[in-house]
Structure 1
Amino acid sequence: MKLDYQQALSRVTEAQGAWLVHGGEPLLEQNLLSAFREHWQSQGIERQRFELQNVQDWKQVFAALNSLSLFSSQLAIEVHGNIKPDAQSLKLLKSYLQDPMDNFLLIVFPKQESQSLKSAFFQAIEANAAVVALSAYGAQQQQRILQIEAEKIGIRLTTQAWQWLIFNHENNLLSARNTLLELADSFSDLAQIDIPELEQSVQDQSRFSTFDLGDACLKGDLAQAVKILNFLIESGEASPLIFWVLQKEMRLILQLFEQPQNALQLGIWKNKLSLYQNALRRFTPQQLLTWSDLLLRTDQAIKGLGDENPDDLLLQLVCALSGKKIFEH
């Protein structure tokens, strides 16, 4: 079956077998993944995460699904990447979908073109489980999603303010949500927020964004990247949002290393292709091999697992993605 974002969010607790989610909206992806992780944690379900760097990684995914630990009766596996399984792994997927037991497979892909959605891989999941499109088309749908975010943090906007917010953020839901968080910090005493408060808030936070951080790292400008990271942390930017951008860029670099001829299919825009290619040249294969462990440790620290400091690990990610040692700037 096919689901949109809001349908998927309402069915997290009843999800079975496998879901494949794809889209270009980081806010929607973060919200859906958070809902799944909270559900799994509340039910005592073991979670594992895999990063697809080549087609052979699919075999590890299905091996994990068939081998529960001694302490778990259920397993949820997140698979992140943009590599479809080969014929052999596709057979394993179809076999799993026929009898998933109580396990669950969540596959997270970037936005897919319509032709890609017609492939045997997507069709198998759509026929036996769920394909979720993480998109929000049109101002009304975007406003409905953002109103839920506003309700979570306890603020209300006038009709004119909503129109201004949607128009001025140019369909970037993540940026719009960040503005809502800034409004909640600055104007929590107001019954309703109007355009003047929005203009002030956007002006206050316009110095740097998480996307500026990603670009600085890709350029290898460690001094600027550290400056932006410190600004984001000090201004209260949520650690999961900073992490999302860094791990997205690192994942693309890893995939480009494995598939240098498939940059556009990986979701890299033409006008940014040279930026990624130049960044890739800075790394040795040995450096790239260290990234998965660092990403996992950072993800766990942000969730409060372990003793490591999330800010320190974010700094290590910035240094790794910039291709320089931590004190080299």
Structure 2
Amino acid sequence: MKTQPAQLPQLLKKGLAPVYLVSGDEPLLVQECCDQIRKAAREAGFHDRLTFHADHQLNWNTVADEFNAMSLFAEKRRIEIHLPTGKLGDGRPVLEHVLQQPPEDIILLLISTRLDAAETRRKWYKELQGKGVHVPVWPVDADKFEGWLQQRANRQGLHLTRGALAMLAERLEGNLLAASQELDRLALLTNGNTIDEETIEQAVQDSSRFNGFELVLELLAGRASHAGKMIGVLQQEGENPLGLLAVLNRDLNLVAELRAAAGQGENPAAFLKKRGVFQPQRARVLERAARRLSPGQLQQATRLCSQIDRAAKGFDDLSPWHYLRDMSALLAAKS
């Protein structure tokens, strides 16, 4: 069955399904849904967790062995499988076999980007629909972001003036993960006081997080030297690379879509406004990137994003910052 993120808490109270699929391109909302499932599973005695990352290095026979071996142990387990491309690939036969008769001592959690449309027609997905729960997570529309931000602030007990809310929404540009992090920081800085525009301005000046937005613009503009310096600073300051990765992924997709739209004669400025891009500087960078970067470069950049995500989650020997430097060189190269 399918359920919306807002309905998930109530569904979990009724009991656990043997398998959950959480999919979408909003890291914050995906993470929060997964955390709710993890919490419910732990409370039901599924304390042990095993995690796999379904990239080209994963041996699916190892995954199958884990499912087959579980019945030998008394412990209840959670098996989590990250699907960075939204595809199962070689894992389809394994999941089809598991889903035909899910083990009682395992909760399976599949965590995916937006699910590839072809996968929804596969046998494994149909089995999952019958045996488990799919939670598709959709982006917050640009015109609804300010309202989402207000609701989030209200839940945290933050009081923002209308001007402060508008300023914060403009600076965050729809990035939910960065928004959540910034509201957490404001809660610590303001100690219950009303947050006005001056407070936001000062908080931005004190924050290195917005350098993440600037870094994405430098990467897309092909300014490798400056981008490299920013990567070094952010790494030293302990910045979470997943926040800026979400921005980079979003803007790379926008560049690819803009390139295709322009090829069909659509006006770039009108296209970007329709997609919620209103800041002139960002719009210029995206337009130029769409003209400068080749389809091959954009495909390689998408693959690098997957490697950055994998490294940031501890599934790679190299640092995510290493791959961000590779990204800088790739996007600066002449096509």
Residue 126 and residue 214 in structure 1: after superposition, are their counterparts in 2 closer, same or farther (change >3 A)? farther
Q: Contact conserved, 1:21 with 1:107, CA < 8 A, in 2?
A: yes
Q: Establish whether residue 147 from structure 1 lines up as the match of residue 151 from structure 2.
A: yes
- SS of corresponding position for 1:77: strand
Q: Contact conserved, 1:18 with 1:97, CA < 8 A, in 2?
A: no
Task: Report the TM-score when normalising by structure 1.
Answer: 0.62
Distance 2:5 2:303 in 1: 37
1:77 to 66, 74, 79: 79
Q: Contact conserved, 2:46 with 2:106, CA < 8 A, in 1?
A: no
**Identity rate of aligned residues, in percent?**
22
Residue 100 and residue 229 in structure 1: after superposition, are their counterparts in 2 closer, same or farther (change >3 A)? farther
Q: Establish whether residue 228 from structure 1 lines up as the match of residue 228 from structure 2.
A: no
**Cross-structure match for 1:105:** 108
**Alignment-mate amino acid for residue 3 of structure 2:** L
| Structure 2 residues without counterparts, runs of 5 or longer | 260-289, 328-335
**Cross-structure match for 2:174:** 171
Following superposition, the deviation at residue 40 of structure 1 comes to 5.0
- SS of corresponding position for 1:66: helix
**Alignment-mate amino acid for residue 151 of structure 2:** Q
Question: Number of residue pairs matched?
Answer: 282
Q: Contact conserved, 2:60 with 2:90, CA < 8 A, in 1?
A: no
Q: Contact conserved, 1:28 with 1:134, CA < 8 A, in 2?
A: yes
Residue 83 and residue 137 in structure 1: after superposition, are their counterparts in 2 closer, same or farther (change >3 A)? closer
1:187 to 187, 190, 195: 190
2:47 to 36, 45, 48: 45
**Cross-structure match for 2:62:** 60
**Cross-structure match for 1:309:** none
Q: Contact conserved, 2:22 with 2:112, CA < 8 A, in 1?
A: yes
Q: Establish whether residue 6 from structure 1 lines up as the match of residue 9 from structure 2.
A: no
Distance 2:3 2:173 in 1: 25
Following superposition, the deviation at residue 165 of structure 1 comes to 3.9
Distance 1:178 1:198 in 2: 14
Residue 72 and residue 221 in structure 1: after superposition, are their counterparts in 2 closer, same or farther (change >3 A)? farther
Q: Contact conserved, 2:25 with 2:139, CA < 8 A, in 1?
A: no
- SS of corresponding position for 1:67: helix
Distance 2:66 2:146 in 1: 37
Distance 1:202 1:187 in 2: 13
Distance 1:22 1:124 in 2: 17
Distance 2:248 2:140 in 1: 25
**Alignment-mate amino acid for residue 31 of structure 1:** E
Residue 145 and residue 108 in structure 1: after superposition, are their counterparts in 2 closer, same or farther (change >3 A)? farther
Q: Contact conserved, 1:18 with 1:105, CA < 8 A, in 2?
A: yes
Q: Contact conserved, 1:85 with 1:121, CA < 8 A, in 2?
A: no
Map 1:1-329 → 2, pairs under 5 A: 1-12=1-12, 14-38=15-39, 43=45, 45-54=47-56, 57-68=59-70, 73-81=75-83, 82=85, 84-85=87-88, 89-90=92-93, 92-93=95-96, 95-112=98-115, 117-138=120-141, 143-144=147-148, 147-148=151-152, 151-152=155-156, 154-158=157-161, 161-162=164-165, 165-166=168-169, 169-190=172-193, 192-202=194-204, 204-205=206-207, 207-209=210-212, 212=215, 224-225=227-228, 227-228=230-231, 230-231=233-234, 234=237, 237=239, 239=240, 242-243=241-242, 271=290, 273-275=295-297, 297=314, 316-319=319-322, 322=325
- SS of corresponding position for 1:208: helix
Following superposition, the deviation at residue 162 of structure 1 comes to 4.0
Residue 41 and residue 131 in structure 1: after superposition, are their counterparts in 2 closer, same or farther (change >3 A)? closer
RMSD, matched Cα: 4.8
**Cross-structure match for 2:332:** none
| Structure 1 residues without counterparts, runs of 5 or longer | 251-262, 283-287, 300-312, 325-329
- SS of corresponding position for 2:103: coil
Greater percentage in helix: 2
Following superposition, the deviation at residue 93 of structure 1 comes to 2.5
Distance 1:84 1:55 in 2: 14
Residue 140 and residue 195 in structure 1: after superposition, are their counterparts in 2 closer, same or farther (change >3 A)? same
Q: Contact conserved, 1:220 with 1:323, CA < 8 A, in 2?
A: no
- Residues 203-246 of structure 1: CA deviation (Å, up to 9, x unaligned): 554751178379859x8958844643534763x75x4xx25666
**Cross-structure match for 1:256:** none
- SS of corresponding position for 2:69: coil
